[in-house]
Amino acid sequence: MTAEIFDADIARGEDLARKKSFGQGPPPFFAEPPFDPGDRGEGSNTPVGNVFLAMLLFIGADVMFFAGLIGAFVVFRFGAIDWPPFGQPRLPIAVTGLNTLILLVSGVTMLQTWRHLDDWKRRRIANGLNLTALLGVIFLLVQGYEWAKLIRFGLTMQSSVYGAIFYTLIGCHALHVFGAVIWLLVVLMQLQRNQFNAKKHNSIKLAGMYWFLVVALWPVLYGLVYLR
């Protein structure tokens, strides 16, 4: 019976710990941990590994952060008599619509990359990551260009609440895309240095999960902020 084996194991362990605590030598808490923190012991079969669970939780928190800002946007947008306020420029719907497509395509390329991870087609993975990052950079550049235009038309953080919430909300998303691109580049570099293999490539999946977050957030923001 496994349970009996455990019992014996516990008894032995307790003996050991007792000897360690009151016996010779330094107390064991000075020692390096005799374990790998990922070690969950026998009989554990967790459906989602620690790092992936942590990433999902982080994504949950991030979504709540955006929920706070989106809530603020909704209050301003639907509490306003005219939106955009008088004298403030309209947002570039068409260009940003195209940009939305670009980001969505990057989501697809990331998904393709993800599919190749398990059969470890290294070249395809590298290409997929490169393409995804490139699309992300294009998205950011287009956004930046449009922002520069908007600023010239007089839409700033200070010009109105409309401008303030636009730059805060869309800017936070842009920062997220920026961070995600950097993360992809780091992962790519590690891939180039052969730090991953068919068994060990969690970092790529984590970066991918983060990428899916920034892609999935965008259509919501586009629909809410740009379209009526």
Other CB atoms within 10 Å distance of the CB of residue 175:
12
Question: In the bound complex, what is the minimum distance in angstroms from residue 49's beta carbon to other proteins?
Answer: 8
Task: Say whether the peptide bond before residue 219 is cis (omega within 30 degrees of 0).
Answer: no
d(CA 5, CA 191): 43
* 58: contact with other proteins by CB under 8 A: yes
Candidates 91, 165, 181, 221: give the one binding other proteins (CB under 8 A).
165
Which residues, including other chains, have CB under 8 Å from residue 166's CB and lie 6 or more apart? Answer: 91, 155, 225
Query: Judged by CB under 8 A, which stretch of 51-59, 102-110, 113-121, 206-214 contacts other proteins?
Result: 51-59
Question: In the bound complex, what is the minimum distance in angstroms from residue 139's beta carbon to other proteins?
Answer: 23
Phi, psi of 142 (to 5 degrees): -60, -45
Query: Judged by CB under 8 A, which stretch of 109-117, 133-141, 154-162, 209-217 contacts other proteins?
Result: 154-162
Supply 113's token pair: 């990359």
* 23: contact with other proteins by CB under 8 A: no
* 186: contact with other proteins by CB under 8 A: no
Question: In the bound complex, what is the minimum distance in angstroms from residue 134's beta carbon to other proteins?
Answer: 30
DSSP class of 199: S
Picking from 186, 223, 219, the residue whose alpha carbon sits closest to that of residue 103 is 219
Exposure string over 55-84, b if 16+ CB within 10 A, otherwise e: beeebeebeeebeebbeebeebbeeeeeeb
Query: Judged by CB under 8 A, which stretch of 19-27, 125-133, 196-204, 210-218 contacts other proteins?
Result: 19-27
* 14: contact with other proteins by CB under 8 A: yes
Question: In the bound complex, what is the minimum distance in angstroms from residue 15's beta carbon to other proteins?
Answer: 8
* 154: contact with other proteins by CB under 8 A: no
Which residues, including other chains, have CB under 8 Å from residue 27's CB and lie 6 or more apart? Answer: 20, 21
CB 88 within 8 A of CB 159: yes
| Residue numbers 60-119 binding other proteins by CB under 8 A | 60-62, 64-69, 71-72, 75-76, 79-80, 85
Residues that bind other proteins (CB under 8 A): 3-4, 6-7, 9-10, 12-14, 16-18, 20-21, 25-44, 46, 48-50, 53-54, 57-58, 60-62, 64-69, 71-72, 75-76, 79-80, 85, 157-158, 160-162, 164-165, 168
